[in-house]
Amino acid sequence: MDITAKMVKELREATNAGMMDCKKALAESDGDLELAGDYLRKKGIASASKKEGRTTSQGIVGSYIHMGGRVGVLVEIACETDFVARTDDFLQMVHNVAMHIAASSPLAVSRDQVDGSVVEKEREIYRAQMMEQGKPDNIIDKIVDGKVDKYYSEIALLEQKYVKDPDMTVDDYLKSVIGKLGENMQIKRFARFEIGI
């Protein structure tokens, strides 16, 4: 079934979830708005969006050591209350995110934290590749924009495919935990260490 912009808009207004989350939910439910809403609630995305503006002044710094001490990660994840920061679900989420960082080597938490000069260099490389392939000038920018978005999905933690469930991103996973625990949470920062790098 074709998912229309009108369907996405209607689901978005009903749930406050992001456009891409709504589109994915509609695709998963064959365009059924009610099932799509249930899908979003199960993932915690709908309720997570409502909590985004709330202050996160509590939380923990978690760690993960992998491969006999060859890779280590420290990650700071914040939440609203100390009570939630001490729950098993929150601690498990911190562990899972740290493990994901160890496995996936992101450069930044989100795309807005990526150094602009790094992205601009990638953009120049992609443009040169498209020109070398003889692509028409009028479509090169669209192709380059698509490649830059793909690049962000590889280096920005929140946009990476979650290693324990590649059907969702790390951001989707975070939102599912927010929906479950009922508090806003943010991955503030991380440091990844690897022997020999």
Residues 6+ apart with CB under 8 A from 148: 119, 122, 123, 126
Tokens of 40: 């979003």
Q: 169, 161 in Cβ contact below 8 A?
A: yes
CA distance 75 to 72: 10
Tokens of 191: 């440091």
Phi/psi-derived region of residue 63, left when phi > 0, alpha when psi is between -120 and 50, beta in every other case: beta
CATH of residue 30's domain is 1.10.8.10
pLDDT of 51: 58
Q: For residue 113, what is the DSSP state?
A: G
Q: Mind listing the pLDDT tens digit for each residue in 117-127?
A: 989 999 999 99
How many domains does the chain fold into?
A: 3
CA distance 194 to 63: 14
Q: What is the mean pLDDT of residues 137-141?
A: 87
Residues 88 and 179 in one domain: yes
Q: How far is CA 100 from CA 58, 66, 73, 76, 177, in A?
A: 22, 11, 9, 14, 15
pLDDT of 46: 54
pLDDT of 86: 93
pTM of the complete model beyond 0.85: no
Can you give the residue range of the structural domain that contains 65? 58-109+156-194
Q: What is the mean pLDDT of residues 127-156?
A: 90
Residue 24: band (very low, low, confident or very high) from pLDDT cuts 50, 70, 90: confident
Q: Mind listing the pLDDT tens digit for each residue in 36-48?
A: 877 877 776 655 5
Residues 63 and 103 in one domain: yes
Residue 162: band (very low, low, confident or very high) from pLDDT cuts 50, 70, 90: very high
